A and B are shown apart, each in its own frame.
Chain A
């Protein structure tokens, strides 16, 4: 795994799978719908295997590899056609692309399967830039946003530049850079639960730097980070008895879709 080495990208396909992630399925379905809208508009038929659940990362990073394998094993059979698998999360994409082969390293048959699947896992923004060649006109009004890139998107998938490139293509959107943009938001899955004080300290700093950036909203290609950042910002608003959110935010798929579909000014 070395994100500095570019991977080969296929031509734009007629069909692709969506692995939506458990967080989007259960907690942020709009991001999933907007992902489908973005891709279908480009003439790609999107297939959502109903049997999908979770990539297995929560158990994998918490020290329960057997439990992670049970769940990951189920996802290996979901994508029988050789189509690309688009994942609207850098973190879950990294799990499937980089960690699945390690997880099944001791089983030659499953390892081969995991390796084959890993080769066609694409994080949404890299897919839009490198495979789709996304070029849509920004029809929204002017606004200022900050981009938060998840650590796994940045350091494991090496796709932080594709999120930035998508935003740069929106002519009415001004992207501001928050201080320490590369730093973790403090989520880290079960880390946020196991070390709540440290996690809270990190996310409080992240919220502060995003607010100081002057951005009207934050966008990210990872829902885990967004729940953490927005949940912290909301809590701060509540204790300050603020009605309107001081730091709204959304998944980059939703932002892109709204800006390029005329859904909202």
Chain B
């Protein structure tokens, strides 16, 4: 069916071109600005007490640090507990392996229809495309995901996938793509249309696929939050439920979920609590009426162990995927999610993508930040995003390849020579004195075309006399 045409991420190389196109797209700019303002205000309204928020973020960070510090043990404990609960556990190092596991399960059940709850890991591995190639219809059932799938696009936000689309665009899309639907831009009506389509699919699907918000090692519980009820349908109606998640999503104790979930919905959508919270602890028991006969969990690495192996970059894995960093990012607000070219956009995308795709292909994302720190300020688990961005810039331009995949590949001889000369000038006070004196004296020669700077600004010219010259004059009051 034509719905299975979700675009796989493009290589991140054309970032400059895509971001230029985005900032010049007035419609896109308006959509994102409006959405970001709305989400920022909603989040703030959920955290009226700054001190309490600060304490909660300390707690969130501590829980995630604890989980990561014990990651190998917790993953083993999780596997054992899940198996004891009757959940089958699979390990995948690469996206291809993860897709092969899903396909293997699907083939064993002779499945042709899959309904999907929202899962960014499934986007990361290109699952829809892999299913389409194998002749399986993988239908998105989250309304936002359904919309981008209909449009043949990728999500532009990790929480709100269709945030770049207006109501009118969605109306046109439905009229064009959903059989027998006339144009309407009434939101309730659009949702009813989507729901009608999806209801039939839930009933027919052999497999339901979902993501996981937290996997609890102590109890072997998969925790999944959502607002539309589609996640509960996907995980309880079909005979087989397959959950996919990254290995970093494990937490030690059930009570940790309760604490993290104070932060997650408030930081993400500005909700005090999600509409649906699913605690999945196994397949249907013989005396139960509802639930799948089989539950599988696929634990994906896909480069996460590279981040894990580095004491500073490991903080990247603290992320609970709330999206607050992108909601507050001045760059994301201007260019939207698609310009990044990666599954995960925004600040978290810039720091996680190098591990998934290599630093060479994703380096531009790490540079696309003014290091303003708005993301650091709102991160519910206090990921030092700006420090990590600086570290990635260092690794990408280092003289040797280093430990990161694609490290050192962004080093350019001209650029590194410029910084070397800069360090000579500013590292030798006598040389700086001469150079800055020459610049002041020669200010009439300062170019009016200062490259990228003067495309949008007037030239920046040296003052006729430096501060050090003026201070040397006798005080005149």
Contacts and interface: CB of A to CB of B under 8 A. Distances in A.
B100 to A, nearest CB: 38
A228 interface: yes
A66 to B, nearest CB: 8
A64 B467 contact: no
A180 B37 CA distance: 9
B108 to A, nearest CB: 48
B23 A234 contact: no
Contacts of B370: 151, 184, 186-189, 191-192, 199, 202
Contact of A28 (B369, B426, B463): B463
Given A24-B467, A53-B432, A155-B377, A198 B331 contact: yes
A33 B368 contact: no
Interface stretch (B121-129, B158-166, B315-323, B417-425): B417-425
Interface string A194-210: 11111111111000000
A139 to B, nearest CB: 16
A62 B334 contact: no
B460 A231 contact: yes
Interface size class of A (residues with CB under 8 A): 35 or more
A46 B16 CA distance: 46
| Consensus secondary structure, chain B interface | helix
B53 to A, nearest CB: 10
A54 B419 CA distance: 13
A59 B419 contact: yes
B118 to A, nearest CB: 28
Contacts of A142: none
Contacts of A184: 330, 370, 372, 374
A51 B461 CA distance: 23
A63 B397 contact: yes
5 contacts: A50-B468, A188-B371, A196-B455, A197-B16, A235-B454
Interface of A: 2, 4, 20, 22, 24-30, 32-33, 36, 48, 50-54, 56, 58-68, 70-71, 73-74, 102, 151-152, 155-156, 180, 182-184, 186-189, 191-204, 227-228, 231-232, 234-235, 238
Given A48-B471, A184-B374, A227-B460, 19 more contacts: A24-B467, A26-B463, A27-B462, A36-B471, A52-B429, A64-B394, A64-B397, A70-B427, A71-B427, A102-B387, A151-B374, A180-B37, A196-B452, A197-B19, A198-B331, A231-B456, A231-B458, A232-B457, A235-B454
